[in-house]
Chains A and B, each alone.
Chain A
Amino acid sequence: MLSSVIVFPGSNCDRDMAVALEKFGFKNSMVWHNDTELPKTDLIVLPGGFSYGDYLRCGCIGSKSKIIEKVIEFANKGGLVLGICNGFQILVEAGLLPGTLLRNKYLRFICKDVYLKIKNNSNTFYSKFKKDIIKLHIAHNEGNYFVKNDELKKLQDKNQIAFEYCDINGEVSESSNPNGSINNIAGVFNDNQNVLGMMPHPERMIDKYLSGNDGSLFFNNIKHKLSI
């Protein structure tokens, strides 16, 4: 299985993502934002970080990179595209995912473990997560997901919501919402469910020494899905 991690100036989870992908059996290439061709790949990942310092709007300038045209082409052909944190922000700015990511409700950067409810368990990325609730880590300043009501309804109807912030028991409520996201949304799919953007960082939870291991489930699931 082949993966590609796009590196933007200011990406800072690119290495972490490559480490994770390799750990779970991908042969990964790093792709520079200014490149005009993608290598042969089964999965494209837009990693976390602060592409272009998050200047102007987070993800905005990254979405104008040359390689993004190719990423859009790849996605439109049904290829798997995953955006984590800043990568999610870029996918939204590039128009591959609906909605937008506003500043956190309490106007502060927030770095902590969160629980996520898995809302969609059969899609192009993963299926049969053995758990309904997983623990991952978030670290962002702009993770407050927003869509207009009619779009939200569309997301719900088409089963495009991937994860919601919840508490340890799976309760989705105001108090388990770390950033003010509408309906506690932590990650969404596109229409065809081959593009996924999410704020939490699965690549930071891939071994027992880190504060959890649920990121491993995530990657194993993608791998499993790709190999069938």
Chain B
Amino acid sequence: MKISIVVTLKKEVLDPQGKVIQQTLQNMGEKAVFNVRQGKYFELDLNENNYEKAKIMAEEICKKLLANLVIEDYKIMDNS
């Protein structure tokens, strides 16, 4: 089954890229945008059909590799 994961910088950690993208959007006239956070998106294809089990595996994988827990959070997307 497919598991989708989004990794972003922790809320309290500076996101230089997000900041510049937000400023650029402002300059381009998108005045409503007051904050941007940038992240990474992963899709894992797993040999596992049970979503709950797959989620636990994904969780481990995030901790082990995908997210740098010093500065990043991960979110496993709901299966839809």
Contacts and interface: CB of A to CB of B under 8 A. Distances in A.
User: Which secondary structure dominates where chain B touches chain A?
Assistant: helix
Interface residues of B, number: 8
B28 A56 contact: no
A61 B21 CA distance: 8
Nearest to A56: B21
B16 A56 contact: no
Nearest to B21: A56
B20 interface: yes
Interface string B37-55: 0100000000000000000
A55 B9 CA distance: 14
A218 B27 CA distance: 37
B16 A61 contact: no
Interface residues on A, range: under 10
A64 B20 contact: no
B28 A55 contact: no
A53 interface: yes
A56 B27 CA distance: 16
21 contacts: A52-B20, A52-B24, A53-B16, A53-B17, A53-B20, A55-B16, A55-B17, A55-B20, A55-B21, A55-B38, A56-B17, A56-B20, A56-B21, A56-B24, A56-B38, A61-B20, A61-B21, A61-B24, A64-B24, A64-B27, A64-B28
Given A55-B16, A55-B21, A61-B20, 15 more contacts: A52-B20, A52-B24, A53-B16, A53-B17, A55-B17, A55-B20, A55-B38, A56-B17, A56-B20, A56-B21, A56-B24, A56-B38, A61-B24, A64-B27, A64-B28
Interface of B: 16-17, 20-21, 24, 27-28, 38
